Amino acid sequence: MQDPSPTPPVHPRLELFLPPILPLLKDQPMQWLALGFKDLARSPLLSMMHGLVLALLGGLITWVAHDRFWLLAGSMSGFMVVAPVLATSLYAMSRAMERGEKVDFRLLINTWTQWQMRLRHEPDSYWSLIRFGLLLGLAATGWVITSAALITLLAPVPIHTPIDFIRHVVLAKQGYLFEIWVGLGAMMALPMFASSVISMPLLLDRQVTVMQAVLTSWKAVLTHPFQMTFWAFLIVGFSLLGICSLFLGLILVVPMLGHGSWHAYRHMVDVSDLSERLTEQGER
């Protein structure tokens, strides 16, 4: 009998290693908030600058779409979807604080531009961060279009202002447009949260693919459903407070949640077996 053919080696890019998920306490999300606020206090100006940028962006969206509530509602929902991408430099700040590295404006610039230099060292892996950001952007755009079409086509009268939306959609006595709108939003928000809650910090910190990051994020959510549901409610609750305060609250809420998300990632995922991404200090 002939010897069986040897098993061909698996190409490294085809391996799909998912890091272990660490145990959590039930009140761990409150600790993430506290640690996020602590990081905010350690570098208040740079942290609040992120919140100011998003507050101005929210104000701009409101100004452009104030008389097109179907567009305003979809844009605000999409705004929440891409928030993990916009908080990337907040994750980088928390990582630098954790490592005892200098946190300054140069760190923020390098976080958003250094990928061009890293192509020499990580030609395949680092593009994962860019790919995932594009995917979230496409998801947000898809929801804006879906939300706009739903309200425009099914509303009994044209919806132009928030009062129109409350009167003819939320408080409508006939039809289920509001319930359908909320249901579709939840159907998109839940998988997007599960896919992104850990992915962006992981992609920033370690050399992993988009698939590894997304599956690890889902693994964390399924391993700790209570804590992750609590964390999702905290994110939504504080974000609504920030938005309802004419976006001024976002100046504090955004950095607190962004820094807190880094600590959520660090407390949940054991990344000791994954290679680190190169930082500016590591390239010297």
The per-residue pLDDT for range 218-253, each reduced to its tens digit, is 999 999 999 999 999 999 899 889 988 988 999 999
Q: Are 100 and 152 a contacting pair, CB within 8 Å? A: no
Q: Could you give the CA distance from residue 62 to residue 75 in angstroms, rounded to a whole number?
A: 9
pTM of the model: 0.82
Q: Could you give the CA distance from residue 249 to residue 123 in angstroms, rounded to a whole number?
A: 39
Measure Cα distances from 276 to 10, 40, 54, 145, 199 in Å: 22, 24, 29, 38, 15
The per-residue pLDDT for range 129-138, each reduced to its tens digit, is 677 777 777 8
Q: Could you give the CA distance from residue 18 to residue 111 in angstroms, rounded to a whole number?
A: 25
Tell me the mean pLDDT in the region 117-135. Answer: 61
Q: Domain extents for the chain?
A: 29-270
Round the average pLDDT of the chain to a whole number and report it.
Answer: 82
Q: Are 134 and 196 a contacting pair, CB within 8 Å? A: no
Helix axes 177-196 and 210-223, enclosed angle (nearest 10): 110
